[in-house]
Structure 1
Amino acid sequence: MKITIVNPQNRSIDLTIEQAMHLEEIIRTYGVTSDTPVAAALCDQEYIRLDQMIDHSCTIFLKDVKDGYGNMSLQYSLSLLYRCAVKQVVGRCDVQICNSLSKGLFTRIIGINPTDEICHRIEEQMRLLVEKDIVIKEEYMEREPLLQVCSKDLPEVYELVNSTTDVSGAYIIEMEGVKDYCPIHVLPSTGDLQLFEVRRYRNGILLRFPDMNDPCHVPPYSPQAVLYNAFAEETKWDRLTGISGVSQLNRVVNTEKFDEVAMISDALHERKIAEIASMIKKEEKRIILIAGPSSSGKTSFAKRLCIQLRVIGMHPLYLGTDDYFVDRKDLPKVQGEHIDYEALSAVDTELFSLQMTRLLGGDMVDLPYYDFKQGKKIFGKRITSVRPGQPIVIEGIHGLNPALTEMLNEDMKLKIYVSPLTSLNIDSHHRIPTSDVRILRRMIRDYRTRGNSPSDTILSWHNVRAGEEKNIFPYCGHADVFFNTQCTYEVAVLKHYATPLLQSIDLGDPAFAEAQRILTFLQYFNEAQDDHAVLSNSILREFIGGSILVK
């Protein structure tokens, strides 16, 4: 057999192997190296487990946590290891994997008030299990055998699978008597899980691990109080809609109850936006900075905020930092090829600061409009001024970067971070990744409005995420307010639009494997056939179409 193995750094090695071997054995025997820990592998456009038997000629791509599948495989594997350690330290109890937070997962042990000592003991037990290099058992089961196993051992999973006919099967994973299901492969053994940290945070425990910025180290800890509060608020919102899990959502999709859930969810958004508008007026803020990652709904939020400000007698000026891009010839590039619109150096910060200062001083200012076809700013079409006390609402990915507004008085600013976060999880141990929701939003919107293929969206997503890690996420801790743009019912609606797009990606397309991973994620949701209950000013409309705010 002739086998080519490509590591995460795109270095390849060609091998000739006489007989079938496990992939891990091939890597060890032939000295295949990687600068980063390997979390998954792709063979013949299909993700495989690292101990998969290789019995034919092929090309195998090794993946680290920069890869979406590799990242989730690591998270699911660590979550199982963590739950085993919890059971062995504090006894049999329910563990909830709640949401992402502080470069890790925020978890709760039901009935246990975590202490620093308990967290230390859990981490030590995890490291002991890693040292033992225990095999993580994994078996794929079709739907009916899966239901039989879950009815006995995993009642919550049984309820989930039974709530939709779309789940065709899943992996049953087990280690040290702890059993669960998993939609994708996990790592073969605990010995593969070397990098993690356990620490107490408020009423829960953080399980932290490497991210795509640095797959070789657990990143420095930074508390995210604003983000934590946003998740807590979302949990309250879910209670008001009566939906606390995907199985409950599935049972109301395409019923009158679903319409009610949609209307309540959007009404909660409106109430929150009204509260922010009142805060702006009460605190006499003049510069309202709105930032967030790709497909977070910044534009719809900003325009709805402007409407609420007008309702309470204020007359905001709205503008976007995209209109301050430098000329195309001066735009920075990624690796000397693609234009990097997400770098701060792509923005004419000097002009921006000058014009904001003049506006606040009451001067008449010629605001630019950026013509993307010509690749330059156009002047003379928007000459304006603002009255004393009139707020300026500024939307753009760099809104929270201090370098953008360092010339402006801090007391004038209100910094708002916008992103779709959900406390509505698939079940107690499997969360809905924010990045998956955002890529679905972006795929649907860009196909509809820009003619971008779903394959283009998937293949460019890594660069988008890398830009966010560099230019957006480091500054989210500067936010005064967090606005969660997630709608409780959202994935059921997105599935209707995204499924045919993802299914159109064929086997020969380099985006095929990732498309299949996303389709696997979507199979746990019933599809909303009708979105008539989604209001025309809903943030979701920015992506699926029909918005009165974003054309």
Structure 2
Amino acid sequence: MEQMIKVQIEGKEYEYPAGTTYQTIAGDFQKEYEDDILLVLFDHRLRELGKSLKSEGTIEFITAKQDPGKKAYRRSTTLLLQKAVDNLYGKDGVSIQIRHSLGQGYYCTLKGAKEDISDLILSIKIEMMRLVDADISIGKKSCRTDDAIRLFAERGMHDKERLFRYRRSSRVNVYDLDGYIDYFYGYMVPSTGYLKWFDLIPFEEGMMLLFPGKNTKTIDEFHPSKKLFHTLQESEEWGKMLNIDTVGALDDAIAAGKMRQVIMVQEALMEKKIGQLAETIASAGDKKFVMIAGPSSSGKTTFSYRLSTQLMAQGLKPHPIGLDNYYLDRENTPRDENGNYDFECLEALDVEQFNEDMTRLFKGEQVEIPTFNFKTGRREYKGNFLQLGDDDILVIEGIHGLNDKLSYSLTKESKFKIYISALTQLNIDEHNYLPTTDARLIRRIVRDARTRGTSAKETIAMWPSVRRGEERHIFPFQEEADAMFNSALIYELAVLKAYAEPRLFAIEKDCPEYLEAKRLLKFLDYFLPVPAEDIPSNSLLREFIGGSCIDV
């Protein structure tokens, strides 16, 4: 007699035969969901749809709209692109490289292509669509790590070969799409038929693989972020200079004892870039307000002080000011749709007072600059008077620095706007993009624990809210910046590993944040550790791990 297993779904009890796939179960409920079900949570553990039901438990469905589903869709579509390129041009030694995340897509190039890439894109897209229509299964198998190393070496995937040399686990999962085998960091959809929504368009010297945005069944129009793209390209050049372009290459350098030199060169490159920005500002001659903005954990505070030092070397007298000091008193702070204080909206700042003070300073008048007391939730005046002379310049740092609505009374000519973010220049390998947001989240987990006593669980829980604030208040203005600065250090995750792992391991399995903690721990497992002793005291990384010579 067939064994039946009871499961809880949406608060109700159902029975399915043992061995039923989650894909079959998801099919019974798909009509109740607007977005495609791509994964499931079984007793709070993420599972691919191809897995089978073996025991009683609770099933929750993960759709393409949710973060784990969105990531699975992007990974799977990347594999689809690789397979299409291999089908068409693999015999000629051509392969795809995933370079950067840009908007709702990945910037990719073709390695080994002799033709103009723009002539190949349409053929690749047509082949991808053919594979989607064929609804080919995406298989998954576990193999010994040593066997995986040999497999990838035979197939010329040397980036993966070197990555797995440092893998502690004795086994690794690989995916198979109709004979094309690869490794991916994370879960996949069960077949190509799920991957109906994508686009492939020419961009720069390569192409953009575009994914759905908020609407999971529509591709948004691509608006190229040219400044962001060229900042990413510059950072990639730094990686090439150091001969470190993937995590495996970084691990090679760590194992070879080269990290002291890598740290010194990376810090020197960053200091040179900051010096060039200071020279640009000074040579303009008419800039009085340097406006700095960027997403959470970008290192804005350390950057503003280091830029100030370089401005002094140019003969200017910089005065750092944090926009947080212009917060409205707590009782006057707007609330969000959930009734919580919304500290990230522009209306949380006293914009009128800020403009009055800046206008008076611009005219040469003396102004008392406020300080916000976060304990009492009130703005205070403590005799911090400021008056600008010919060589004085304000370095203003805060979330809304690039938004002209903040500084509406100041002339465009008087402002120099800088966008800063930690734009990770490393990828895990040629096909696995290393998300910038993961690096920033790990930075924040480490800093929050050190400076605020906040647990990793609390930091992870509030991260979606932080990200929503960035989407609304920072990213829309990034292309309006006069300059962009990448604060990511090529070695930083190898250092942050030792600080972050204990915090992440402290999250209990029954917590909603456990899934994210587990994912980040797996991510950090790729990196060999690097001690912090050789990191300079003015490094941006010191803002997060401690030991900075700057008051952060």
Q: Find the partner of 1:19 among 17, 20, 40.
A: 17
Q: Which amino acid aligns with 1:259?
A: R
- Measure how far apart 1:30 and its partner are: 4.1
Which secondary structure state, in structure 2, belongs to the residue aligned with residue 499 of structure 1?
helix
Task: Tell which deviates more after alignment, 168-177 or 341-350.
Answer: 168-177
Is this contact kept in 1: 2:40–2:46, CA < 8 A? Answer: yes
Note the 1:63-462 alignment, pairs <5 A: 63-64=62-63, 67-92=66-91, 93-112=94-113, 114-153=116-155, 155-156=157-158, 159-211=161-213, 213-253=214-254, 256-284=257-285, 285-462=287-464
Cα distance in 2, alignment partners of residues 443 and 432 from structure 1: 18
Greater alpha carbon shift after TM alignment, 54-63 vs 429-438: 54-63
Supply the distance in 2 between the matched residues of 1:321 and 1:412 (Cα, whole angstroms).
Answer: 18
- Shift of the 254–445 alpha-carbon distance from structure 1 to 2, 3 Å rule, reads farther
- How far residue 157 of structure 1 moved from its aligned partner, in angstroms, is 5.1
Q: How far apart, CA to CA, are the structure 2 residues paired with 1:131 and 1:422? A: 35
CA contact (8 A) 2:370 2:380 kept: yes
Decide which moves more: 83-92 or 124-133: 83-92
How far 1:51 moved relative to its partner? 2.7
Report the TM-score when normalising by structure 2: 0.93
Hey, what's the Cα distance between the residues in 1 that align with 2:65 and 2:378? 34
1:329 Cα offset (Å): 1.6
Specify whether residues 409 and 179 from structure 1 end up closer, same or farther in structure 2 by C-alpha distance, changes over 3 A only: same
Aligned to 1:523: 525
Structure 1 distance, partners of 2:282, 2:374, is 35
Question: Relative to 1, partners in 2 of residues 1:208 and 1:159: Cα closer, same or farther, differing over 3 Å?
Answer: same
Q: Does structure 2 conserve the Cα–Cα contact (< 8 Å) formed by 1:106 and 1:207?
A: yes
CA contact 2:402–2:480 (8 Å) conserved in 1: yes
Give the conservation status (yes or no) of the 8 Å contact 2:160–2:429.
no
CA shift, 1:53, in A, is: 1.6
Match of 2:8 among 4, 13, 18: 4
Q: What secondary structure is seen at the aligned counterpart in 2 of 1:309?
A: helix
Percent identity over paired residues: 34
461, 482, 485: which is aligned to 2:484?
482
User: Structure 2: how far apart are the matches of 1:324 and 1:204?
Assistant: 44
Amino acid at match of 2:161: E
CA RMSD of aligned residues (A): 2.0
CA distance in 1, matches of 2:371, 2:150: 61
Cα distance in structure 1, aligned partners of 2:51 and 2:418: 47
Counterpart of 2:61, as a letter, is: L
Matched-pair contact (CA < 8 Å) for 1:173–1:182: yes
Question: Take 2:424 and 2:370, find their aligned partners in 1: how far apart are those partners?
Answer: 37
Letter in 1 for 2:547: G
Q: Is the 8 A contact 1:23 1:50 kept in 2?
A: yes
Task: Give the letter for the 1:355 counterpart.
Answer: D
Kept after mapping to 2: 8 A contact 1:167/1:523: no
**TM-aligned CA deviation for residue 34 of structure 1:** 2.2
2:43 maps to 1:44:
yes
Classify the secondary structure of the residue corresponding to 2:183: strand
Find the aligned partners of 1:548 and 1:525 in 2 and give their Cα distance: 27
Distance 1:142-1:322 versus aligned 2 partners, 3 A rule: farther
Question: Counterpart of 1:247 in 2: which secondary structure?
Answer: helix
Secondary structure at 2:79's aligned position in 1?
A: helix
Task: Verify the 8 A CA contact 2:99 2:430 in the aligned structure 1.
Answer: yes
1:70 partner amino acid: G
Q: In structure 2, do the counterparts of structure 1 residues 550 and 139 end up closer, same or farther at CA, with 3 Å as the change threshold?
A: farther
* Inter-CA distance 443–512: structure 2 relative to 1 (3 Å threshold): same
SS where residue 317 of structure 2 aligns? coil
> Contact 1:291–1:395 (CA<8 Å) still a contact in 2?
yes
Aligned equivalents of 1:160, 1:167: Cα separation in 2: 15
Question: 2-side partners of 1:65 and 1:192: how far apart?
Answer: 10
What is the identity, as a one-letter code, of the residue corresponding to 1:22? Answer: T
- Correspondence for 1:505: 507
**Distance in 2 of aligned mates of 1:117 and 1:14:** 54
Aligned mates of 1:168, 1:73 — CA distance in 2: 24
Task: Give the Cα separation in 2 of the matches to 1:18 and 1:158.
Answer: 39
CA distance in 2, matches of 1:373, 1:304: 28
Q: Which moved more, 1:83-92 or 1:323-332?
A: 83-92
Of the structure 1 ranges 15-24 and 451-460, higher mean CA displacement relative to structure 2 is found in 15-24
CA distance in 2, matches of 1:111, 1:511: 42
The answer (yes or no) to whether the contact 2:145–2:164 under 8 Å persists in 1 is no
Q: Which amino acid aligns with 2:28?
A: T
Query: 2:427–2:433: 8 Å Cα contact kept in structure 1?
Result: yes
Give the partner amino acid of 2:17.
Q
Matched length: 543
Would the alpha carbon gap of residues 111 and 255 (structure 1) be closer, same or farther in structure 2, given more than 3 Å must change? Answer: closer
**How much does 1:276 deviate?**
0.1
Per-residue deviation, 1:90: 4.0
Can you list the C-alpha shifts for 1:320-358, whole angstroms capped at 9, x where unaligned? 111111121222333324322211221121211221111
Distance 1:524 1:117, change over 3 A: same
8 Å CA contact 1:69, 1:517 repeated in 2: no
Does the residue aligned with 2:37 lie in a helix, a strand or coil? Answer: coil
Farther off after superposition, 238-247 or 66-75: 66-75
Change (3 A) 1:59 1:157: farther
- What letter matches 2:197 in structure 1? L
Change over 3 Å in CA distance of 1:154–1:188 after alignment to 2:
farther
- The equivalent of 2:61 in structure 1 is 62
Contact 1:171 1:184 in 2 (8 A): no
Q: Is the 8 A contact 1:108 1:203 kept in 2?
A: yes
Q: Which residue type is aligned with residue 231 of structure 2?
A: A
Q: 1:397 to 1:40 in 2, by over 3 A?
A: farther
1: CA distance, partners of 2:206 / 2:116: 6
Query: Cα deviation per residue 1:371-421 (whole Å; 9 max; x = unaligned)?
Result: 111111112431211113522111111111222122221122211111111
Q: 1:116, CA displacement in angstroms? A: 4.4
Task: Please tell me the residue identity of whatever aligns with 1:4.
Answer: Q
Deviations, residues 468-505 of structure 1 (Å, cap 9, x unaligned): 11111111111221101011111110111111111121
Conserved in 2, the CA contact under 8 Å of 1:42 and 1:62? yes
1:314–1:390 CA contact under 8 A, matched in 2: yes
Distance 1:223 1:53, change over 3 A: same
Give the Cα–Cα distance (whole angstroms) in 1 for the partners of residues 540 and 228 of structure 2. Answer: 20
Say if 1:25 and 1:162 are closer, same or farther in 2 by CA, change over 3 A. Answer: closer
Comparing 263-272 and 140-149, the one that deviates more: 140-149
Query: 1:429-452 CA deviation, whole Å, 9 max, x = no partner?
Result: 112110110010000000111011
Q: CA deviation at 1:14?
A: 2.2
Shift of 1:31: 4.8
Number of the residue aligned with 2:28: 29
SS at 2:33 equivalent:
coil
Matched AA of 1:273 = I
Write the letter of the residue equivalent to 1:334: D
Distance 1:246 1:402 in 2: 39
1:470 has 2:472 as partner: yes
